[in-house]
Amino acid sequence: MKIALITVFVLIALAVALLFILGKYSQKGQAPGLVNGSLSRCSTKPNCVCSEHIDDVGHYIEPVTNIENREMDKMPKVVSIIQNMNGVIQRKKDNYIAATFTSSIFGFVDDFEIRTDSNLGTLHFRSASRVGYGDGGVNRKRVELFKTFYRQEMDEAIKSPN
């Protein structure tokens, strides 16, 4: 009985240590960025969502559409929303933002990317875990939460246009 308890304790300690190592490993690297002007495709792992590739049903998430041209210049609002969600901006270009979100316990890093398409009036998203296989739906929830906050900001801007 004593050996079984020690074995279980050692296995749990090794699993926790492995999670910390993977968390540290995920802190290296960066978001894939744009490929031919679009957000990168997700890998085959279920730890990613992207609005750019509608043919990838398992990873697809709806973009924000019907954005008026006056809303397309709201990148400071986008940055503010990401920061309020505890994201850290890594790169920012005219129509592209890359940010990271870090989990509190093990320090896992997820990449969160946004691309604006002013021709179509669309805000595209890609959110993916850097390591691991599954994510428990965290990336999909993050994008949906961002979209909720973005719509609230735009509704408030319409109500008070100053």
- What is the pLDDT tens value at each position of the chain, 162 positions in all? 788 778 877 788 776 666 656 556 556 777 889 999 999 999 999 999 999 999 999 999 999 998 765 555 667 889 999 999 999 999 998 899 999 999 888 778 899 999 999 888 899 999 999 988 888 999 999 999 999 999 898 877 777 755
**Nearest residue to 110 (alpha-carbon basis) of 85, 81, 93:** 85
What total of structural domains would you count in the chain? 1
133 to each of 46, 93, 128, how far by Cα in Å? Answer: 7, 30, 10
**CA-to-CA distance for 97 and 91, rounded, in angstroms?**
6
Q: Where are the alpha helices (DSSP H) in 1-62?
A: 2-26
Do the Cβ atoms of 51 and 125 come closer than 8 Å?
yes
Instruction: Please report where in the chains the tokens 């240590």 appear, as a residue.
Output: 17
CATH code assigned at 47: 3.30.310.200
Cα atoms found within 13 Å of the Cα of residue 126, Cβ hemisphere only: 23
Domain span at 127: 2-159
- The answer to whether the CB of 16 falls within 8 A of the CB of 105 is no
